Amino acid sequence: MSKPLSDHDKKKQISVRGLAGVENVADLKTNFNRHLHFTLVKDRNVATKRDYYFALANTVRDHLVGRWIRTQQSYYEKDPKRVYYLSLEFYMGRTLQNTMVNLALENACDEAMYQLGLDMEELQEMEEDAGLGNGGLGRLAACFLDSMASLGLASYGYGIRYEFGIFNQKIANGWQVEEADDWLRYGNPWEKARPEYMRPVQFYGRTEHHPDGIKWVDTQVVLALPYDTPVPGYRNNIVNTMRLWSAKAPCDFNLKDFNVGGYIQAVLDRNLAENISRVLYPNDNFFEGKELRLKQEYFVVAATLQDIIRRFKTSKFGSRETVRTDFSTLPEKVAIQLNDTHPALAIPELMRVLVDEEKLPWEKAWDICVKTCAYTNHTVLPEALERWPIDLFHTLLPRHLEIIYEINRRHLERIASLYPGDVDRLRRMSMIEEGSQKRVNMAHLCIVGSHAVNGVARIHSDILKATVFKDFYEMDPHKFQNKTNGITPRRWLVMCNPGLAEVIAERIGEDFIRDLDQLQKLRNFVNDEAFIRDVAKVKQENKLKFAVHLEEHYKVKINPNSMFDVQVKRIHEYKRQLLNCLHIITFYNRIKKEPNKEWTPRTIMIGGKAAPGYHTAKMIIRLITAIGEVVNNDPVVDDRLKVIFLENYRVTLAEKAIPASDLSEQISTAGTEASGTGNMKFMLNGALTIGTMDGANVEMAEEAGEDNFFIFGMRVDDVEAMDVKGYNAFEYYSRIPELKQAIDQIAGGFFSPKQPDLFKDIVNMLMHNDRFKVFADYEDYMKCQEKVSALYKKPKEWTKKVIMNIAGSGKFSSDRTIAQYAHDIWGVEPTLEKLAAPDDL
Ligand code: D6G
C-alpha cells in the first residue's frame, strides 16, 4: 500500500499555489536566513516561532519592493488619472499568504520552510489580522484594493492607521467581553513609515473675513504621519499603495501659545492630539456622534487631500518635472470615491482648498468638486445615517460649517427655482436639519457634492431612488447608479480554499482567477460524476479540518457528517440571528418530541461581534450561548444537533469557516441588508444559501437559478404592505404552536434556569417592538429549512446545486465591480497592464 500523502506533499501538487522551482527555493532559504540574522538578530537556537514568521514575511516583502518602486515610478511618468478610495475602514486581515498567492510564491516558500524544518502554516498563524474595520464596508474596501491593483488601475486606498483595530471578542460565561486589539505590539512588517510626507491638519479656531478672502485662524495643528502598505495585483507585477495616516503632535504642541502647565505637562498632553488615530469606533451600521470620531473623519480627509493636490500639481515626465496650476483639469486627473459618508468632509475641504487657498471663484471650484467626487451609500437604516450636531461642527471645523451653509444656500435656491412654492421639499432636501438640535445631514451633502451616487446591490439602489433619496433622484436622476458589491477571488477562493480552486482549474484552467465569469463553464460539468465527487470531497476535507479546530477550541465533539449550517456576520437585530435561534429551538423541540425519527444532523454555528454599547446584540449572543449549553448537553439529541458560538469572528476565521460550510444563512428582513458580501463568499466556496430576497441575495439567486437557492420570507413589497397594515407579533405567537413553545421557553427560563428572566428584554422586543418582524417570516423559514434538510439527505443532488452556485458566482468578483466603477464613475479603463518582473534581489 502506498503511503498517504502528507499535508505538505498534497499542497505541492496544487498548481494554483505557484511553482516551486529549485533556484527559487534556494534563494528563499538564503534570504530567510539572512533576515533571521540581520533583521531579527537571532540564530536558530533562540529564534521563536514569531521570529520565523517575521523572517519569512521580510523574505516575501523583498519580492514586493522592486515592483512597488517601479509601479509608483510609472505612475509619475505616465501620469494617468488616479483613483483615490477614501475610507475610514480597511479590513485587510492577514497579508503574508495573500502576498504569496498574488506573487505566485506560495509553493516555493512552503518548500523552503519545509526544507528548513518549519511548518509554513504554523508561521502564518503568528500574523495578527489588520482589523481596521467592522464588517462588510471595511472588507469591501480591502477587496477593492486587490481588484484595483489586479486590473492595473493607478489607485490608492487612504485611511487611518488605528493603533487599535476592532476589539477581540472573548466569550466568558456566555457573555461577550471586549479586549483591546494591540495588533502593532510586535511590529508590522508590511508597512513603511513615510515621515518625509508628514502633513499638518488644523482643528478648532475661527474664521476671519478679509477683502481678499477668508482665513481660518487660531487653529490647533496635529500632524498626519503616513504609513504605506504595498497592495500587489494578481501576478501582474503591479503594486499599489494603501496610505494610512497616524496622528502625531507637533514638537511645539501646547508649548507655543499656552505654556500654562509647563513643559512636562505639555509633553504629557501630546497624547491628546495623538488619540485621533488611537482606536477604530466599533459600530457597524450605527452612527455615534462623538467629537473624536468627527476629528478622525476630518483628519483623514485633510491629510489625503493635501497628498492628492501635491501629486496633481507635480508630475514628473522622465527627468522633467512639471508644475500644474490649472485646477480645471483636476477631474481629468483625479477621482475621489467616498466609502459611505464617513469621508464626506472631502467635499467642503476641497472647496476650502480651492476657494480659500488656491483663490478659485466659488462656481468654478464647485464644478471641479462635483466632477471629482462620487459617493457610495451602504445602508438605509436611519440609525446609521451620519447627522452631526451643528454645535460640534461649529467648534471643531468653523470654516467647513460656513462652506456647508453656502453649499446648502445655493442648493436650496436651485430647488426653489425648480419647485416653486414647495416648502416641504426644501425642508426635506436641506443639508441642515432643523429641530430641537440642528444637524448636518452628511448624505445630503454627499449627493449634492458628487457627480455619481451609487447603492451596492440592485435592490438597494432601487430602494434609494424610491425612498430615502427620492427627492434627490427626481431632481438629478443622472447621478444615481448601482454597483453591486463583489469579493476578491484571490483571497476568497485561491487562498482560503486551494483544494476547490484546484479541482476547478483541472476542468477549466486557471484563467477564472482573473476572469471569474469563466466559472460559468462549470455548468458543463454539473452531471460529471468525477467532478461531483471531487467537489464533495474537497468540502468534506475542509469540514474535517475545521472540525479539528472546533473540537480543540470548544471541547465539543463535532459530527463531520452533519450539515455545517453557518451564520457569521455582525450581530444586529436586522440581520435576524434571532430567527436562526428560533429555528434551532424548534428543531431541538422536534428531536425531543420524536427522538427516533431520522433527522438530518446539523452543526449550527453563529459568530459575530456586537458593538460594545449595543445591549440587545449582546443579549442575542448570550441567548445563543445559552441555547448551546442546553442543546449540546442533551443526550437525547446526541450528535444530531450542536450549537456553537464562533468566538472572535474576523477575516482570518472567515477564511477557515466559509470553505467548510454547507449552508449559508442570509436571513435579514427584506429591504434592510444593502448588499452583503459574506453571502458571496459562501456561494463561491460551495455552500448553498438559505436567504430572503434582500441585498445581493436577489442577484445571487438569479445567477445560480432560483431552483438552486433556498428563498423564503417576505419580499420588500410585503414588508412595506405590512408596515401600512401594522405588524402584530402576537397574532403569529398565538396561531403557531411551535413558535409559541419556543418563545415560552426563552421567556420561562428553559435556557437560563438560574436566571429565568434573563431574556425578558429580548422576548419583550420580539412580542411588542420588533422593527424587523422576526415572527412574520418564521413559518416560511421553518418550511424552507425542512427542504434544506431533505436535500442534504441526497448528497449528489446537493452537490449538483453547489456546482450551479459556484458556476453562477462569477458576477460577484470585485474585479467586475471595480471595472464598472472605473468605466461608469471614474472615467478610467482597466489597463490590465502587466509590468515586467523586476530583478528582485
Ligand atoms: C510608496 C512606494 C515608494 C514611492 C512612494 C510614492 O511608498 O517607492 O516612492 O509610494 O509616494 P507618492 O510620491 O506618490 O506620495
- Does 228 contact ligand 1 (Cβ within 6 A)? yes
What spacing in Å lies between the alpha carbon of 31 and ligand 1's midpoint? Answer: 25
The count of domains in the chain is 3
Task: Give the CA diameter of the chain.
Answer: 92
Cell numbers standing for residue 183: 495588533
- Does 812 contact ligand 1 (Cβ within 6 A)? no
pLDDT at 260 (0 to 100): 61
300 lies in a domain? yes
- Residues contacting residue 151 through CB under 8 Å, at least 6 positions apart: 233, 815, 818, 819, 822, 830, 831, 832
Q: Is the model's pLDDT at 441 over the cut of 60? A: yes
Q: Is the model's pLDDT at 3 over the cut of 90? A: no
832 lies in a domain? no
547 lies in a domain? no
Nearest CA to ligand 1 atom 13: 311
814 lies in a domain? no
What spacing in Å lies between the alpha carbon of 311 and ligand 1's midpoint? Answer: 10
Q: Which of 4-13, 329-338, 759-768, 809-818 has the lowest average pLDDT?
A: 4-13
Sorting pLDDT into bands at 50, 70 and 90, what band is 415? very high
741 lies in a domain? yes
Cα distance between residue 396 and residue 301, in whole Å = 14
Which of 190, 228, 304 is the best mutation target for the ligand 1 pocket, counting ligand atoms within 8 Å of the beta carbon and taking the most? 228
Q: For 577-587, what is the mean pLDDT? A: 99
The number of angstroms, rounded, from the C-alpha of 407 to the middle of its chain's C-alpha atoms is 32
Same domain, 60 and 88: no
Same domain, 34 and 146: no
pLDDT at 258 (0 to 100): 58
Q: What is the pLDDT of residues 297-327, one digit of tens each?
A: 999 999 999 999 999 998 665 556 778 889 9
Q: What is the pLDDT of residues 202-211, one digit of tens each?
A: 999 999 999 9
Question: Phi first, then psi: what are they for 382, rounded to 5°?
Answer: -60, -35
pLDDT at 319 (0 to 100): 59
- DSSP state, 80? P
Is there a contact between 80 and 154 (Cβ–Cβ < 8 Å)? yes
What spacing in Å lies between the alpha carbon of 241 and ligand 1's midpoint? Answer: 8
Question: Phi first, then psi: what are they for 6, rounded to 5°?
Answer: -75, 165
pLDDT at 259 (0 to 100): 59
- Does 313 contact ligand 1 (Cβ within 6 A)? no
What's the N-to-C CA distance of the chain in angstroms?
Answer: 44
Q: Is the model's pLDDT at 642 over the cut of 80? A: yes
Amino acid at 362: W
Q: For 789-797, what is the mean pLDDT? A: 98
Same domain, 620 and 724: yes
Share of the chain above pLDDT 70, in %: 97
Cα–Cα separations (whole angstroms), residue 641 to 101, 603, 634, 791:
37, 6, 10, 17
Same domain, 69 and 136: no
Is there a contact between 484 and 379 (Cβ–Cβ < 8 Å)? no
Q: Is the model's pLDDT at 22 over the cut of 80? A: no
The dihedral formed by the CA atoms of 823, 825, 830 and 835, expressed in degrees to the nearest 10 = 160
522 lies in a domain? no
What spacing in Å lies between the alpha carbon of 72 and ligand 1's midpoint? Answer: 6
pLDDT at 261 (0 to 100): 65
Same domain, 124 and 207: no
Q: From the candidates 161, 569, 640, 773, which is the catalytic residue?
A: 569
pLDDT at 323 (0 to 100): 83
Decide if 570 is catalytic.
Answer: yes
- Does 375 contact ligand 1 (Cβ within 6 A)? no
User: Residue 214 belongs to a domain with what CATH number?
Assistant: 3.40.50.2000
Sorting pLDDT into bands at 50, 70 and 90, what band is 840? low
- Residues contacting residue 51 through CB under 8 Å, at least 6 positions apart: 36, 40, 42
Q: For 80-91, what is the mean pLDDT? A: 98
- Does 314 contact ligand 1 (Cβ within 6 A)? no
- Does 548 contact ligand 1 (Cβ within 6 A)? no
Q: Is the model's pLDDT at 835 over the cut of 80? A: no
Sorting pLDDT into bands at 50, 70 and 90, what band is 7? confident
Q: What is the pLDDT of residues 101-133, one digit of tens each?
A: 999 999 999 999 999 999 999 999 999 999 999
- Does 311 contact ligand 1 (Cβ within 6 A)? yes
Instruction: Indicate the pTM of the whole model.
Output: 0.98
Residue ranges making up the domain that contains 16:
1-78+95-128
Cα distance between residue 49 and residue 457, in whole Å = 43
Q: Is the model's pLDDT at 28 over the cut of 90? A: yes
Q: From the candidates 61, 139, 575, 801, which is the catalytic residue?
A: 575
pLDDT at 14 (0 to 100): 74
Strands (E), 260-318: 314-317
Nearest CA to ligand 1 atom 7: 228
Cα distance between residue 643 and residue 564, in whole Å = 10
The H or E element containing residue 222 is strand 220-232
For 775, what's the count of Cα atoms within 13 Å in the CB-facing half-sphere? Answer: 26
For 191, what's the count of Cα atoms within 13 Å in the CB-facing half-sphere? Answer: 23
Strands (E), 707-778: 710-711
Same domain, 478 and 578: no
Parallel/antiparallel/unpaired status of strands 320-323 and 90-93: unpaired
Cα–Cα separations (whole angstroms), residue 678 to 262, 569, 673, 696:
53, 7, 12, 10
Same domain, 623 and 756: yes
Cα distance between residue 421 and residue 441, in whole Å = 23
527 lies in a domain? no
Q: Is the model's pLDDT at 53 over the cut of 70? A: yes
Q: For 406-422, what is the mean pLDDT? A: 98
- Does 241 contact ligand 1 (Cβ within 6 A)? yes
Is there a contact between 75 and 154 (Cβ–Cβ < 8 Å)? yes
171 lies in a domain? no
Beta bridge partners of 86: 158, 338
> How many CB atoms are located within 10 Å of the residue 383 CB?
12
Amino acid at 750: F
Same domain, 226 and 294: yes
The H or E element containing residue 456 is none
Same domain, 753 and 624: yes
Cα distance between residue 763 and residue 623, in whole Å = 11
- Does 146 contact ligand 1 (Cβ within 6 A)? no
Cα distance between residue 132 and residue 242, in whole Å = 13
Same domain, 108 and 149: no
pLDDT at 1 (0 to 100): 46
Q: H helices within 79-157, ranges in order?
A: 96-102, 106-115, 120-124, 136-150
Q: For 792-805, what is the mean pLDDT? A: 99
- Residues contacting residue 448 through CB under 8 Å, at least 6 positions apart: 407, 411, 431, 472
What spacing in Å lies between the alpha carbon of 228 and ligand 1's midpoint? Answer: 8
Sorting pLDDT into bands at 50, 70 and 90, what band is 16? confident
Q: For 490-499, what is the mean pLDDT? A: 98
Sorting pLDDT into bands at 50, 70 and 90, what band is 841? very low
Question: Phi first, then psi: what are they for 646, rounded to 5°?
Answer: -75, 110
Same domain, 113 and 242: no
Is there a contact between 295 and 277 (Cβ–Cβ < 8 Å)? no
What spacing in Å lies between the alpha carbon of 107 and ligand 1's midpoint? Answer: 30
Q: Is the model's pLDDT at 830 over the cut of 80? A: no
Q: For 468-472, what is the mean pLDDT? A: 98
Same domain, 465 and 587: no
- DSSP state, 174? T
Parallel/antiparallel/unpaired status of strands 220-232 and 239-248: antiparallel
> How many CB atoms are located within 10 Å of the residue 57 CB?
24
Q: Is the model's pLDDT at 255 over the cut of 80? A: yes
